[in-house]
Amino acid sequence: MPSSSASTAACSTSCPRPRAARWPPRPEAQTMADLLYPINRTEHAYISTHGMMGSFNQPYLMRLNAPVDEARVREGFRRLVSAHPRLRCVVEPGRLHYGFRVLPDDEIVDQLFEIAWKVRRDVDLDDPAELEAFHNEILNDPLPLERGLGMRAFFLPHPQRPMLVMNIHHMLLDGRSILHLLSDLMGWLNGRDIRPSEMESRSMWPAAAPRSWRQLLAARSHAREAARLAAEVPAIQVPTKLTHNYSTHAVLHHRLGVGAAPLRARARAIGVSLNTLLVALFAESFLRLDAADPKSAAVIRLSVDMRRCYPEGQQPVIGNFVGAFLVREQRRGLPFDELARAIDAQVKEGTRRFDEREMGWTYLFEELVAYFGRTMTAYLGWKMKRAGKFPRISLHATSLGDANRINAADARLRIDEIWPVAPSLSLLFVTVEMNGSIFFPAAFQRCETDPRAVRSFLSLVDEVAREIAGVTDSEPVDARKAAA
């Protein structure tokens, strides 16, 4: 019979030792608030350069066609926060990387919403200059990421046509997502319920990853050609000076001097979309801005909604899922129809590369940078800024398309004017169509670009637009008449 000491020794090697109880007990992860959601490469770039840029706000101004009760607007915004977890996200450090934590929809969020909700009675909505100044103010007002809420909701009263303002940090949502939320808000103000969304936080790599080595080689070839063109073909720019530090963002309101209808008719006659015609309009305007240097080119970055590139059944809805590609044109004096078709061919080729997974080489590096961590990425950003290594482009053009879809066909209360904007290192136009007008507020860095130069360029764009549309009236379609 074995001794007790031998039994103890045998048990110590063969029997698992009981684990000490954890105190306090760790609850099982059962709710969104228990999880730390990963951020994708775009969101990693936003949080890493947030300090350098000062703010990454996206303030959208919406003018209504009729008065609305202030308390009902407040309740509508609060219901949006409850229905969409992204609006309750805070940025929280993990062991190696930052992630999203969704705050429970409780009294803490109530307290944060008290700060996020604002009524501004001091803005004269009948004064375009005062409205633009207000837009500049909130574009530069930093939003809290680590504490939350990373948004602000404003109501600007008016006897006939008040305004709603949704100002959301780009870390949380892209422009398509904001339009989704605006549609929910207007639906609720017209008596419909808001459908809750799921918390989506997905990598963008599944939308860009090559499926074969041939696609990867093609992507590498495209990246090399883009680098060659960037080195050999300078971009035409509105007069810009580079600085070591940024100061503030600026936004100028602009409604195109030609309505959407004649431009759409011209686009159909050429055989291109309205969006492509607008890109060709911008390219022609830049080519006229610098007609003396035949080597320079209009270089325009176009945003791409990458939701379409995800595998079937995995397309996300709410979040940040935007890619981009460049179009270049340096030929002066082309008939506009020929220029528009040349731009259209480049647009189709750019979207084909996304659809055929031939952008993987470009996005592979961006995916890897996210693993460097926030500090290293921010350091690289500062080094590139001070060395003047950020890509030089003429314009970043992003289109939200036809925003009339925000309003239901039977809606009594409607948005009839919208001014969307996002911050950018380069000149940025966010184009959107509503009620027969094309709006594209111009955003830029105030320390690097003179607002007077941007105003002058916008006047040139209007001049070219009237020329290609064959109209002499400089006034766009009035939104109130179109709404009626």
Which structure tokens are listed for 412? 């009594």
CA distances from 277 to 272, 419, 439, 469 (A): 7, 21, 15, 11
Cα–Cα dist 258/275, whole Å? 14
Strand 117-119 with 249-252, pairing? unpaired
User: Whose CA is closest to 105, among 201, 202, 200, 196?
Assistant: 196
Superfamily of segment(s) 205-483: Nonribosomal peptide synthetase, condensation domain (3.30.559.30)
Helix residue ranges per DSSP H, 85-163: 107-116, 128-139
> How far is C-alpha 94 from the geometric centre of its chain's CA atoms?
25
Nearest to 425 by CA among 475, 465, 363, 382: 382
> Angle of helix 336-355 relative to helix 274-289, nearest 10 degrees?
120
CA distance 358 to 216: 6
- DSSP state string for 329-363: E---S--HHHHHHHHHHHHHHHHHHHHTT--HHHH
pLDDT on residue 137: 94
**Hey, which bits of 240-343 come out as E strands?**
249-252, 298-305, 322-329
429 DSSP β-pair partners: 397, 442
- Residues of the chain under the 70 pLDDT cut: 1-30, 473-484
- CB-CB contact of 54 with 443 (8 Å): no
Contact by Cβ (8 Å): 55, 139: yes
256's enclosing H/E stretch is none
Note the pLDDT of residue 433: 94
Domain ranges of the chain: 32-189, 205-483
Structure confidence at residue 26 (pLDDT): 52
3-state DSSP assignment of residue 429? strand
Helices 336-355 and 213-232, axial angle in degrees (round to 10): 140
Same fold, 32-189 and 205-483: yes
Q: Report the C-alpha gap between 35 and 38 in whole angstroms.
A: 9
Separation of alpha carbons 266 and 481, rounded Å? 23
Q: Could you read off the pLDDT of 302-329 as tens digits, one per residue?
A: 998 888 888 888 888 899 888 889 999 9
pTM: 0.87
Eight-state DSSP code of residue 415: E
Superfamily for the 32-189 domain: Chloramphenicol acetyltransferase-like domain (3.30.559.10)
Residue 277 φ then ψ, to 5° = -60, -40
Residue with tokens 């239901």: 408
Which pLDDT value is given to residue 473? 59
Spell 336-369 as b/e; 16+ CB within 10 A means b: beebbbbbbebbeebeebbeebbbbbbbbebbeb
pLDDT at 7: 45
Q: What is the pLDDT of residue 406?
A: 92
Cα separation, 158 vs 70, in Å, equals 11
